[in-house]
Chain A
Amino acid sequence: MQGARRGLTRREALIGGTALGAAAALGIATTGSPFGGATQTVTFWHLFGGGDGERLTEILADIDAENPDSDVRQLILQWGNPYYTKLALAAVGGSPPDVAVVHATRLPSFAPAGLLEELTPELLAPHGLTEDQFLEKPWKSCQSGGRQYAIPLDTHPFVLYYNTDLVEQAGLLGGDGKLRPLDGPSALLDACEAVKEETGKTGLVFETRGVTPWRVFLTLYTQLGGPPILEEGGSRIGLDDETAIQALEWMAQPNARGVGGPDVDYQGSVAFFSNQSAAFALNGEWEVTTYQAMDLPFGMRTVPTIFDRPATQADSHTFVIPRDPDRSPERLDAALAFISRLINKGLDWAKGGHVPAYRKIFESDAYRELTPQSDYAAAVDDLVFDPLAWYSGSGSNLEYNAGSALSPVVTGTLRPEQGLRTFRDYLDRMSKTPKPV
């Protein structure tokens, strides 16, 4: 029995140590992650990761440093549907954050359901957030049912990136070192062919395995003057087939002429442009810092007016205040003050490629001097947002399904009519599905 007792002691020690460790683990597990989310003065949720996330974190640090009464705790959630689901759940469950970032096109999932505070002029004026302070289109996009529910931070339009070296070799660079205008149905395609001839490189690349085909489509469809694709909050389809086919036929051209990029996902499309395999790229403006960091010789400009009128797909990042019956007026005021401070940091934010919606910054010299950002600032005049519906908007079901349906048209696997039919079937289904919010 002596031996057994000695063994017990050793075992007991081991077990005791494990128990302590378990207690510590349980303690942490119960009180929550040590990495964030404790009680704070203003809670702020957003979905910016990567470069944008870093930039925003720096901005928040600046705000806290400059304003002694500011105490902001940010919570970064996964971009896309997980973010919006979580936000909606929190709003419905009664414990939402004070301030949240919401894409303007996603407001239909929140505002009509009464999940957001209405931002009346009385609330906004003391913080300098009045209508005249903002660009018109972004401001209007923050409204729902005639009421204001959000404050726009920026717009992020679709743009045309071009490799200045390759473009120069093809003789497409103007005297000012910028791309010559390429408006008209064939100008961009001809330019791609010129590049292919002179340099052997691909003409135009963009993400085909994702949402970008939808964004290109929407841009072209609107340039053709097509009627709104969805109406009545998504329960009626206004899509005009003829216009859609025209847009899709153009989209199939680069590949048909042998100047298009490969069937590639988002990272691949970025890489294809950054390793100088392609002269042109269509994407949102947010990759500007990526390319700058690689010292890539590139420029940016608004998407050419290929058809009748200028238009470019875009969305807006906006700030909302989810409704919380337990929120005190002081806290509401602190939230608005925070939003105002963020808006005023718009120049720093613009360095990440986004176009500020705050007039003071948009019209400032400092912003005008930012290149290549200022080269596409004019896009704000001709923005087209995703159609307003509960299943539509940035990163939504519609964008993914549309991208999936139209991508084979771009790669030439399917004819425009076939891709369109798949897309229409999807819209048919969704328009008949009852609204969940």
Chain B
Amino acid sequence: MTTLGTRRPVSGLVEGPRGHRGWVRPVIYAVLVVLALVWVVPLAWAVATSLKPDAETTIAPVSWFGSEVTLDAYRVALEQGEILKWYFNSLLTTSLITAGTIVTASLAAFAFSRMRFRGRDLLMWMVLAGLIVPFQALIVPLFTQMTAFGLADTYWGIVLPQLASPIAVLVFKRAFDAVPRELEESALVDGASMWRIYWLIWMPLSRATIAAVGIFTFVIAWNTFFWPFVVTSAGSLFTIPVGLANVQTSYGALYAQQMALAVLGALPLLIAFLLFQRQIVQGIANTGLKG
């Protein structure tokens, strides 16, 4: 398991003996600082806009500060009440997806890793094939299917198609493969069922993997736009990405309010990211590398 964020610089370039040292490091810092600032500007500008009075957002030339700092835009955005609904819907669907993915994928991965059964190879190939399937191309048949099941415009409609994650299966399998056989064998000798071995030994040992898969799935599911957009049209079911997509074109929403909504929409994961930076980055990197 790779850990990012170790203090000592693991450099790709060790200083040569010819004394490049002197100017190389500061230059690198300078370049990085400039680029980091460039990267931060869009978000910062959004925040700056959201704190201005609406009438002042469209004056040119632009300035970073208005005549006053006001939270009016946020007040209006929250008063309209929609974004709180979106928070709730996002939290509900994303939690269900994350939990469901972890459970189904780890169960299947355990079987692949620890059991022999007929058709194992075939099923494994199916999982690998599933990695390549572009979800976006299946929107039309999935929608008619959901409608036929009566699940269009429901939470389950949003959640179900996002539960089967081949990449999660592969990541879990890799992690499970690494656990020593002896643990399993001694448990079997003690008369344990495969279920108990899974639940009481493998899963606790794979906490880090569970976290990685969970974080990866959570971030991706939280930010998913296309499928919830297609399968729901009732405003009461909008998740954050879907709800915010309407903001741009609905008349009456002025720019400070638009940016306030954008900031509010970004806030949950941004806060989570600031608090759990290391875990999130590791979770995503490890799942990406292993998968």
A–B proximity contact (CB within 8 A): yes
Say whether, besides A33-B155, A89-B147, A271 and B96 are in contact (CB < 8 Å): no
Residues 235-260 of chain B, each 1 if its beta carbon lies under 8 Å from chain A, else 0? 11100000000101111111100100
Give Cα distance in the complex from A289 to B254, angstroms: 12
Q: Is the CB of B234 within 8 A of A77?
A: yes
Q: Is the CB of A82 within 8 A of B96?
A: no
Chain B residues with Cβ below 8 Å from A18 are 99
Is there a chain B Cβ closer than 8 Å to A37's Cβ? yes
Chain B residues with Cβ below 8 Å from A286 are 251
Give Cα distance in the complex from A287 to B253, angstroms: 11
Q: Is the CB of B251 within 8 A of A89?
A: no
Interface members, chain B 140-166 (any A CB < 8 Å):
147, 152-156, 159
Is there a chain A Cβ closer than 8 Å to B290's Cβ? no
Chain B residues with Cβ below 8 Å from A272 are 58
Is there a chain A Cβ closer than 8 Å to B138's Cβ? no
Q: Is the CB of B152 within 8 A of A89?
A: yes
Q: Is the CB of B55 within 8 A of A294?
A: yes
Q: Is the CB of A51 within 8 A of B92?
A: no
Chain A residues with Cβ below 8 Å from B152 are 89
Is there a chain A Cβ closer than 8 Å to B178's Cβ? no
Q: Is the CB of A33 within 8 A of B233?
A: no
Using CB atoms, name the residue of chain B closest to A54: B80
Give Cα distance in the complex from A44 to B55, angstroms: 35
Which listed residue, A35, A37, A54, A270, touches B85 by the CB 8 Å rule?
A35
Give Cα distance in the complex from A266 to B96, angstroms: 37
Chain B residues with Cβ below 8 Å from A277 are 58
Using CB atoms, name the residue of chain A closest to B93: A29
Which listed residue, A36, A93, A267, touches B253 by the CB 8 Å rule?
A267
Chain A residues with Cβ below 8 Å from B255 are 267, 271
Chain B residues with Cβ below 8 Å from A290 are 251-252, 254
Which listed residue, B59, B92, B252, touches A50 by the CB 8 Å rule?
B252
Chain A residues with Cβ below 8 Å from B237 are 33
Chain A min CB distance to B251 (Å): 6
Say whether, besides A29-B92, A275-B55, A275-B58, A78 and B251 are in contact (CB < 8 Å): no
Chain A residues with Cβ below 8 Å from B204 are 11
Is there a chain B Cβ closer than 8 Å to A274's Cβ? yes
Chain A min CB distance to B213 (Å): 16
Give Cα distance in the complex from A265 to B255, angstroms: 13
Interface members, chain A 49-75 (any B CB < 8 Å):
49-51, 54, 75
Give Cα distance in the complex from A267 to B156, angstroms: 35
Stretch at the interface among A20-28, A122-130, A384-392: A20-28
Residues 261-292 of chain A, each 1 if its beta carbon lies under 8 Å from chain B, else 0? 00001110011101101000000001101100
Chain B residues with Cβ below 8 Å from A265 are 248
Residues 109-140 of chain A, each 1 if its beta carbon lies under 8 Å from chain B, else 0? 00000000000000000000000000000000
Give Cα distance in the complex from A82 to B246, angstroms: 11
Give Cα distance in the complex from A28 to B253, angstroms: 31
Q: Is the CB of B96 within 8 A of A289?
A: no
Using CB atoms, name the residue of chain B closest to A283: B251
Give Cα distance in the complex from A307 to B275, angstroms: 64
Chain B residues with Cβ below 8 Å from A77 are 233-235
Give Cα distance in the complex from A96 to B42, angstroms: 44
Give Cα distance in the complex from A21 to B92, angstroms: 10
Using CB atoms, name the residue of chain A closest to B156: A29
Q: Is the CB of B89 within 8 A of A26?
A: no
Say whether, besides A25-B96, A33-B89, A89-B152, A82 and B233 are in contact (CB < 8 Å): yes
Q: How many residues of A contact B (CB 8 A)?
A: 44
Is there a chain B Cβ closer than 8 Å to A85's Cβ? yes
Chain B min CB distance to A259 (Å): 18
Give Cα distance in the complex from A277 to B54, angstroms: 15
Residues 70-113 of chain A, each 1 if its beta carbon lies under 8 Å from chain B, else 0? 00000111110011011001000100000000000000000000
Is there a chain A Cβ closer than 8 Å to B95's Cβ? yes
Residues 95-134 of chain B, each 1 if its beta carbon lies under 8 Å from chain A, else 0? 1100100000000000000000000000000000000000
Using CB atoms, name the residue of chain B closest to A273: B58
Q: Is the CB of A86 within 8 A of B252?
A: no
Q: Is the CB of A294 within 8 A of B258?
A: no
Chain B residues with Cβ below 8 Å from A93 are 147
Q: Is the CB of B246 within 8 A of A35?
A: no
Give Cα distance in the complex from A82 to B153, angstroms: 12
Q: Is the CB of B251 within 8 A of A26?
A: no
Q: Is the CB of B233 within 8 A of A25?
A: no
Residues 169-206 of chain B, each 1 if its beta carbon lies under 8 Å from chain A, else 0? 00000000000000000000000000000001000100
Is there a chain B Cβ closer than 8 Å to A32's Cβ? yes
Q: Is the CB of B251 within 8 A of A51?
A: yes
Which listed residue, B58, B154, B235, touches A32 by the CB 8 Å rule?
B154
Q: Is the CB of A36 within 8 A of B234?
A: yes
Chain B residues with Cβ below 8 Å from A364 are none
Chain B min CB distance to A373 (Å): 16
Q: Is the CB of A274 within 8 A of B250?
A: no
Q: Is the CB of A274 within 8 A of B58?
A: yes
Is there a chain B Cβ closer than 8 Å to A30's Cβ? yes
Which of the listed residues A18, A32, A274, A287 has the most CB atoms from chain B within 10 Å of its own CB? A32
Chain A min CB distance to B52 (Å): 12
Give Cα distance in the complex from A331 to B152, angstroms: 25
Q: Is the CB of A28 within 8 A of B236?
A: no
A-B CB contact pairs (8 Å), 23 listed: A11-B204, A25-B92, A26-B96, A29-B154, A29-B155, A32-B154, A33-B89, A49-B246, A50-B250, A54-B80, A75-B235, A75-B236, A78-B235, A79-B246, A83-B233, A86-B233, A86-B234, A93-B147, A267-B255, A271-B254, A274-B58, A275-B55, A275-B59
User: What is the interface of chain B, defined by CB distance below 8 A to chain A?
Assistant: 54-55, 57-59, 80, 85, 89, 92, 95-96, 99, 147, 152-156, 159, 200, 204, 233-237, 246, 248-255, 258
Given A18-B99, A32-B154, A79-B250, output 20 extra A-B contacts at Cβ < 8 Å. A21-B95, A22-B99, A25-B92, A29-B92, A29-B154, A32-B155, A33-B89, A33-B236, A49-B250, A77-B234, A83-B233, A93-B147, A265-B248, A271-B57, A271-B255, A274-B254, A286-B251, A287-B251, A289-B252, A294-B54
The 8 closest A-B pairs by CB, nearest first: A35-B236, A29-B155, A86-B233, A275-B58, A50-B252, A51-B252, A36-B236, A50-B250
